[in-house]
Amino acid sequence: MDSWKLGALELAAAVAAGKVSCRAAAADSLARIEALEPKLKALMRTCGEDALRRADALDARLARGEKLGALGGVPVVLKDNLCWEGHVASCSSKILENYRAPYTATVVERLLAADAVVVAQSNMDEFAMGSSTENSAFQTTRNPWDLARAPGGSSGGSAAAVAAGYAPLALGSDTGGSIRQPAGFCGLVGMKPTYGAVSRYGLVAFSSSLDQIGPFARSVADAALFFQTIAGHDPKDSTSAQWQPGDVLGKVRTADVRGKRFGVPKEYFIDGMEKPVEAAVRAAIAKFRELGGQLVEISLPHTGYAVAIYYIVATAECSSNLARFDGVHYGHRSKEAGDLVGLCSQTRREGFGPEVKRRIMLGTYALSSGYYDAYYLKALKVRALVKRDFDRAFEQCDYVLCPTSPTVPFKIGERADDPLAMYLSDIFTISTNLAGLPGVSVPCAMVDGLPVGMQVIGRDFDDAGVLACAAAFERTADLAGRIAPMKG
């Protein structure tokens, strides 16, 4: 059996039934990686010895008659900004190239407690700053549907890994669309949970009020299983909500959208959106009416400010969070500087890439004396208006349906020299982070052989409902479970 072709639920069931051993599942995953990684470049590193050792331990438990957890024997890929004790967590940056985490992120602890097997850590835009995975300090990840195109970002390595069949599940982080946009580009289900639903403890911070950890999968049911495993209150994270996910998978399996109201925001179909993408998303939205739902036009009037707000709030927070990388405590240390100020300056000059430097400077400027009120404080006020827009919209509807991205995956290098064009790749995803709401991207069509995603957005902590709506649509689309062909 080629276990790498199976989804997470299928594989866990096969392991439990004795049809596939945990070692065979891990070995199949590692063999797939070895065959494709030279072209795809989705990973920072593989964890082969650890994976096989863990798989053997799980097989030994099965041999003793023990029952494994919900992810028993399932290979998983971690984004390289998640701490895992004893393993490198570089954030695809030279400044943390050899940094080994002294502790384990809560989400990693939970997936290991569910008996998953970590097979690799994925490439990413440096410190999660980017929309194409071209900002990694080490390599550029390719889109497995077309190797000449970008997989999206910043979690592009995780998305490409799942789409190529390296593993049925991967973790990413989403600050302004960094799970949903690459999920859309790679034909996957990708979820940004409600802010506070999943612990951020052990995630290397980019923007603390926006960052969320979430799953990639090839089906909504697999994403629901993974989300259910990692979600819930964590006392180690002060922003973690006193909340538990419940039986998310059960709600997904019995999904029914009859009688539900779906809002379609007029501001999300804009000039500059590719016409075939718009047509595909509108056709997908229309299917919710066929399923018994009601479509309602809504307005989110502050959507046009979202990108500007995001690039003030996120850069301000990143300038603060990344101040800790100074060449003194951990990470890269320059050998060319004399005094302390020189050490810090030279270390950061050598260790950070151009996009990270750009955002640190923008954020530092926005927080500086004389500009704090004009930029950062004003951005926070307009951010509150974005959240109010959604609150008012949810008086008219139960869920919001909209595109994930305005285009199909763009070619590698096409936007590398135009930061503004790159930033606009996330124009449909940023507002969800600003408002802290749950959102999921689900494959809705293929345009010229490339995937297109549609978003479902819900109220705070209605994560299960968002996934259930995505599952109801998925059953009509026949796009689940696909593994990309590695063309190009």
**By three-state DSSP, how is residue 429 classified?**
coil
**By three-state DSSP, how is residue 457 classified?**
strand
Q: Say which of 41, 79, 192, 287 is annotated catalytic.
A: 79
**Residue 178 annotated to the active site:** yes
Pairing state of beta strands 212-217 and 189-192?
antiparallel
Read out DSSP for 95-108? GGTT-B-SS--HHH
Which tokens is 65 given?
Answer: 């008659």
Which tokens is 108 given?
Answer: 């990693």
Residue 177 and residue 185 in contact, taking contact as beta carbons nearer than 8 Å = no
**By three-state DSSP, how is residue 196 classified?**
coil
**Residue 79 annotated to the active site:** yes
The beta-strand segments (E) located in 80-239 are 117-122, 169-174, 189-192, 212-217
Amino acid at 233: H
Question: CA 150 to CA 69: how far, in whole Å?
Answer: 35
- 292 dihedral zone (left: phi>0; alpha: psi -120 to 50; beta): left
Longest dimension (CA), the chain: 70
Residue 332 and residue 96 in contact, taking contact as beta carbons nearer than 8 Å = yes
| Distance from the Cα of residue 68 to its chain's centroid | 27
**By three-state DSSP, how is residue 118 classified?**
strand
Q: From residue 235, give the alpha-carbon distance in Å to each of 205, 242, 321.
A: 18, 9, 21
Read out DSSP for 362-418? HHHHHHSTTTIIIIIIHHHHHHHHHHHHHHHHTTT-SEEEEES-SSSPPBTTSSTT-
Q: Say which of 178, 240, 319, 431 is annotated catalytic.
A: 178
Q: Say which of 3, 132, 154, 441 is annotated catalytic.
A: 154
Question: CA 190 to CA 22: how far, in whole Å?
Answer: 25
Amino acid at 125: D
Active site members: 79, 154, 178
